Amino acid sequence: MTNTPSPLPRISCVILCHNYGRYLDRAITSCLEQEPGHYTLHEILVIDDGSTDDTPEVCRRHQDHVRVVRRPQRGFAHTLTDAVILAEGDWVAPLDADDWFHPAKLRTCAAAITPGRLLIDHWETVVGVDGLPLLPEPHPGGNTSTLLVRRDAARTLLPVTNEIHFHALRDAGHGHTLTEPLVNYRLHPASMTDRTFNGASQHYRADVCADLAHRLIALAVAPPTWATATTLRRIAHRYRARSAGHRVEAHLQQGHRLHAVRPLTAMLYHSRRGHAPFSAWLRSLASVARDRPLAPPPPTLATVPASTIPPLLNRSAT
């Protein structure tokens, strides 16, 4: 008896774009120039979320190679959700239009696909507006452009508010992290809008984690194939603990130390229920005791020295 070779994984590169026409050409080209490997590039899909710049013109220049979906602006959460709904491949590689893939992105990620793996993430090279590196070494990823997610598993988590929703697959034991920097993550003023005010980013991350916890509890009623009800509830408690931790940080950044006591208590409770290490809670406890946030206040991009960039990087809610 001969073994039938397994079909190559079909990958959909889905570019999320709102008024990033000035960066879009490079994002599309990076998908077109992927090195061959044990995969099939099924499609390149651009979701134009109500752009009013030259995004449609850039798409027209690549019309023979990309599928474009244009619609009125609905925001990042809807666009990321639609990326999973509209993709036709077995795997989805989302890409923010201001970033671009390394030529080995799909080849390297495809080589890491094994039975049971549903999420693969990798490190990133942090670059500035001009595309030149801002950090001398690669940085851990976790944000939109550093993921490759199995489409059918991702669909069980919809609708999503942030790419952190897909991290639940890793928390359930179905993830794998590569330390190769396979995407260029562009840091620029337009990508820092949620960090303009003290605590704004932390409150947003707290809301994302709370939303994901609620989604996981709902899934536990009729669990998907990738997790049991018990696992989903445990992960939900962990995200509620993270939500509370972000809320503690937000209150400290805003100078509201007393307001941090309640989420600090909730963080301890959910850490215990989720069987999570207490290290994060101890760090938050120490920051409340000192009345000093763990991260510095959000500076403007123009004043960010290289040594302070890492705490500002992650667009996800971890």
pLDDT in the model for residue 282 = 97
**Could you tell me if 238 and 270 are in contact, meaning their C-beta atoms sit under 8 angstroms apart?**
yes
Cβ contacts of 210-219, under 8 Å, gap ≥ 24 = 210/239, 210/240, 210/243, 211/161, 211/165, 212/161, 212/164, 212/165, 212/168, 212/236, 212/239, 212/317, 213/237, 213/239, 213/240, 213/243, 215/157, 215/165, 216/168, 219/156, 219/157
pLDDT in the model for residue 316 = 47
| Predicted confidence (pLDDT) per residue in 19-35, tens digit | 999 999 999 999 999 99
The number of beta carbons lying within 10 Å of the beta carbon of residue 292 is: 12
**Could you tell me if 58 and 24 are in contact, meaning their C-beta atoms sit under 8 angstroms apart?**
yes
> What's the Rg (C-alpha) of the chain?
20
**Residues 118, 177: Cα–Cα separation, whole Å:** 11
Is the whole model's pTM more than 0.85, yes or no? yes
**Could you tell me if 83 and 69 are in contact, meaning their C-beta atoms sit under 8 angstroms apart?**
no
Query: Which residues, in sequence order, are bridge partners of residue 148?
Result: 120
Give how far Cα 70 sits from Cα of 56, 83, 174, 204, 292, Å: 9, 12, 33, 27, 45
**Could you tell me if 146 and 182 are in contact, meaning their C-beta atoms sit under 8 angstroms apart?**
yes
Positions of the chain with pLDDT lower than 50, given as ranges: 1-2, 192-193, 315-318
Element spanning 103, H or E: none
Pairing verdict, β 147-150 and 91-96: antiparallel
**Could you tell me if 19 and 53 are in contact, meaning their C-beta atoms sit under 8 angstroms apart?**
yes
pLDDT in the model for residue 188 = 79
